[in-house]
Chains A and B, each alone.
Chain A
Amino acid sequence: MSPITRRRIAAFRANRRARVSLWLFSALFVFSLFAELVANDKPLILKFEGEWYLPLVVDYPETEFGGFLPTHTDYLDPFIQEQIEENGWALWPLIPFSYQTLDMHMTRPSPAAPDSRHWLGTDDQGRDVLSRVIYGFRLSVAFALVLTAGSLVMGVFIGGVQGYFGGKVDLVGQRFTEIWSGLPVLFLLIILASFVQPGFWWLLGIMMLFSWLGLVDIVRAEFLRARNLEYVRAAKAMGLPSHLIMWRHVLPNAMVATLTFVPFLFTGAIGTLTALDFLGFGLPPGSPSLGELAAQGKNNLHAPWLGITAFMTLAVMLSLLVFIGEGLRDAFDPRHVQSRHKEVTHG
Chain B
Amino acid sequence: MAEHSAQQAFAPSSSTLLDVKHLSVGFDGSQVVDNLSFNVKAGETLALVGESGSGKSVSALGVMNLLPDNAQVSGERSLAGTDLASLKRSQWKTILGNQVGFVFQEPMTSLNPLHRVGKQIGETLRLHQSLTGKAARQRARELLEQVRLPRPDELLDAWPHQLSGGQRQRVMIAMAIANQPKLLIADEPTTALDVTVQQEILALLRDLRDQHSMGMLFITHDLNLVRAHADRVCVMYQGQQQESGPVSQVFNHPQSDYTAALLAAEPQGRPKPVGRVQPRLEATRLSVAFARPRAGLFRRQPAPFCGRRAH
Q: Is A302 an interface residue (CB 8 A)?
A: no
Contact A240 B111 (CB under 8 A): no
Contact B308 A230 (CB under 8 A): no
Q: Is A238 an interface residue (CB 8 A)?
A: yes
- With A167-B70, A237-B66 already in contact, the answer to whether A347 and B307 are too (CB < 8 A) is yes
Interface range, B side: 35 or more
In the complex the two chains form, what is the Cα distance from A346 to B308 in whole Å? 7
Contact B159 A234 (CB under 8 A): no
Q: Is B127 an interface residue (CB 8 A)?
A: yes
Contact B307 A238 (CB under 8 A): no
6 other A-B residue contacts (CB within 8 Å) besides A230-B106, A238-B96, A238-B124: A231-B109, A231-B111, A234-B102, A239-B94, A240-B124, A252-B114
Question: Which has the most chain A C-beta neighbours within 10 Å: B68, B97, B112, B172?
Answer: B112
Question: CB-nearest residue of chain A relative to B64?
Answer: A237
Contact B307 A239 (CB under 8 A): no
Cβ contacts under 8 Å, B68 to chain A: 167
Mark each residue of chain B from 156 to 198: 1 if its CB lies under 8 Å from any CB of chain A, else 0. Answer: 0001000000000000100100000000000000000000000
Contact B114 A234 (CB under 8 A): no
Q: List the interface of chain A (C-beta within 8 A of B).
A: 2-4, 15-17, 167, 229-231, 233-241, 244, 248-249, 252-253, 339-340, 342-343, 345-347
In the complex the two chains form, what is the Cα distance from A16 to B93 in whole Å? 51
- With A3-B159, A339-B303, A347-B309 already in contact, the answer to whether A240 and B97 are too (CB < 8 A) is yes
In the complex the two chains form, what is the Cα distance from A70 to B309 in whole Å? 75
In the complex the two chains form, what is the Cα distance from A237 to B65 in whole Å? 9
Q: Is B279 an interface residue (CB 8 A)?
A: no
Contact B97 A253 (CB under 8 A): no
Contact A237 B96 (CB under 8 A): yes
Mark each residue of chain B from 53 to 76: 1 if its CB lies under 8 Å from any CB of chain A, else 0. Answer: 000000000001010111000000
Contact A239 B303 (CB under 8 A): no
Q: List the interface of chain B (C-beta within 8 A of A).
A: 64, 66, 68-70, 92-98, 102, 104-106, 109-112, 114-115, 123-124, 127-128, 159, 172, 175, 300, 302-309
Can you pick out 18 interface pairs between chain A and chain B where the beta carbons lie within 8 Å of each other?
A: A2-B159, A4-B114, A17-B300, A167-B68, A230-B105, A231-B109, A234-B111, A235-B112, A237-B96, A239-B96, A239-B97, A239-B127, A240-B124, A248-B123, A342-B307, A343-B303, A343-B307, A343-B309
Give the Cβ gap from A243 to chain B, nearest Cβ, in Å: 13
Question: CB-nearest residue of chain A relative to B98?
Answer: A239
Contact A233 B104 (CB under 8 A): yes
- Neighbour of B110 across the interface among A231, A240, A244, A339, CB < 8 A: A231
Cβ contacts under 8 Å, B104 to chain A: 230, 233-234, 237
Contact A346 B307 (CB under 8 A): yes
Contact A241 B114 (CB under 8 A): no
- Neighbour of A15 across the interface among B109, B300, B304, CB < 8 A: B300
Cβ contacts under 8 Å, B98 to chain A: 239
Give the Cβ gap from A137 to chain B, nearest Cβ, in Å: 26
Give the Cβ gap from A221 to chain B, nearest Cβ, in Å: 18
In the complex the two chains form, what is the Cα distance from A239 to B175 in whole Å? 12
- Neighbour of A238 across the interface among B97, B109, B303, B306, CB < 8 A: B97
In the complex the two chains form, what is the Cα distance from A244 to B112 in whole Å? 14
In the complex the two chains form, what is the Cα distance from A16 to B298 in whole Å? 12
Cβ contacts under 8 Å, A339 to chain B: 302-303, 305
